Structures are given as C-alpha cells and as structure tokens.
Amino acid sequence: MEATILHVDMDAFYASVEQLLDPSLRGKPVAVGGGVVLAASYEAKAFGVRNAMPGRRARELCPELIFVDGHFKDYQRLGDAAVAVLGDFTPLVERLSIDEAFADVKGCTHLFGSPAEIARKVRHRVRSELGLPISVGVARTKHLAKIASQVAKPDGLAVVDPERELEFLHDLSVELMWGVGPVTQARLAEIGVQTIGQLARMPGRSLTRLLGSVVGEKFSALAWNRDPREIVTHRR
C-alpha cells in the first residue's frame, strides 16, 4: 500500500505570522501573549520557551524575549490560505486546527506526481505565496504522517517508506505519539517505556493496568502503526 496521506503543520504558526507581519522581528526570539505564552518562535524555543508557559518564566529563560499581541484575524486568514493550497491538489482534506490538516492524495498522483512531489509542491507554494514555513509528513496512515511531520520540523519534509515503517517509528520517543501528553509520558517512563518500540513490546495486560483498556489498546495498536482511520472531510 502506497504512502499517500499528508499531514501538514505550520511551524510555530502564530509567532511565524508575527515575524511575517513585522520583518524587524525575524531572527529574534518572539512570543505571542503576555501573562502566558500562546506561541513561541524557534529562536525563543531554543532558550526553552514553550507554549502555555507563564510569561515570567519565559522572560527568565530568555531575557531578550519580545512579547507581541496576537493578530488573530491574520492567523485565520493565513491558516485558511494554507489549507486552500492543499485543496488545490485534492478534495480529501481534513482540517484539524487553524494551522494543521491531513490530506489524502491517492486520487491525484496522475495529475501532480508522487505524494512526495505533491508535498514538495505544497511546501513551495506556502512558502512562496504566503511567506510561511510549513512541515509535511507523508505516510501510509494518519498516525504515522502526523509523527513524520513532527520529525520533519522545523520547515522540513519527511516521507516514510511503507516497507520501513516500524524501523522509522520504533526508535522515536513516545511523546511523539498522538494522545501521549506529559502525564502519560511520565507514567510510561516509570515502567521503563521511553520509545515507541518499547511501548509496542509491552504486554497488553501491563498497558491495560497502567492506562485502562481503551487507551492501552489504542496505544498498543498505534505503536505497531495499526491505524485504519480515513480522511474525514466534513469535520473541522
């Protein structure tokens, strides 16, 4: 089965838009917000600044951090424009948030080239038409495509060969899995599970006891890249 699912994710979106709107901010550590960091540029992330971090802590980590107010209408406008680029290649687009979406390009490769070529074209158009960085993951399943786009960051492309999926997946940290937050990651670390491969090899009963039957079964399946979900175009 060919890898035809794309996951596109705008890089540090709010902060990137602010740097686009105000060129004097480019190359500088920028955070959107004030009391709490809503988004941070990669220059700020290099100092350890993260989303949802208290502003005071962010300033301690990065004394040169520049806080800016958000331009939310511009975020919506540019997010819509980026998703519209995907729509120029395929009608099978599932938007997850203002800056993130899936697309299945299996029906349009005869028009636009291989999935990897389509991903490169999407990235080029978003950069040239909107002036924004975007990372794209290409894989056979939604779960793996989303992980691939995270691996590709910042401003990159990762294509997962269907014949080497588990080789790609199992060395990665469990924090990259969809649904694994800090609390779940800490609980898994307590039993020695830090990589997706270690999670995949955990006995099902152990995961069920730790996470519950539904979540344990879900994570076990995803760790083996068993993800039958298709693109849902009507959900936003």
CA distance 222 to 236: 23
* Interatomic CA distance for residues 184 and 191, integer angstroms: 11
Hey, what long-range contacts does 213-219 have (CB within 8 A, 24 or more apart)? 215/179, 218/179, 219/177, 219/179, 219/180
Considering 64, 94, 100, 165, which one is annotated as catalytic? Answer: 100
Q: What is d(CA 86, CA 94) in angstroms, rounded to the nearest whole number?
A: 10
100 is catalytic: yes
In whole angstroms, give the CA distance from residue 112 to residue 224.
31
Contact at 8 Å (CB) between 231 and 185?
A: no
Residue 72 CB coordination number (10 Å): 13
Task: State which H helix or E strand residue 5 sits in.
Answer: strand 5-10
Q: Please name the helix (run of DSSP H) or strand (run of DSSP E) that holds residue 30, with its range, or none.
A: strand 30-33
Question: Nearest CA to 151 among 166, 183, 173?
Answer: 173
Q: Retrieve residue 46's tokens.
A: 């290099």
Q: Calculate the dihedral angle through the C-alpha atoms of 164, 167, 169, 172, rounding to the nearest 10 degrees.
A: -150
- List active site positions: 100
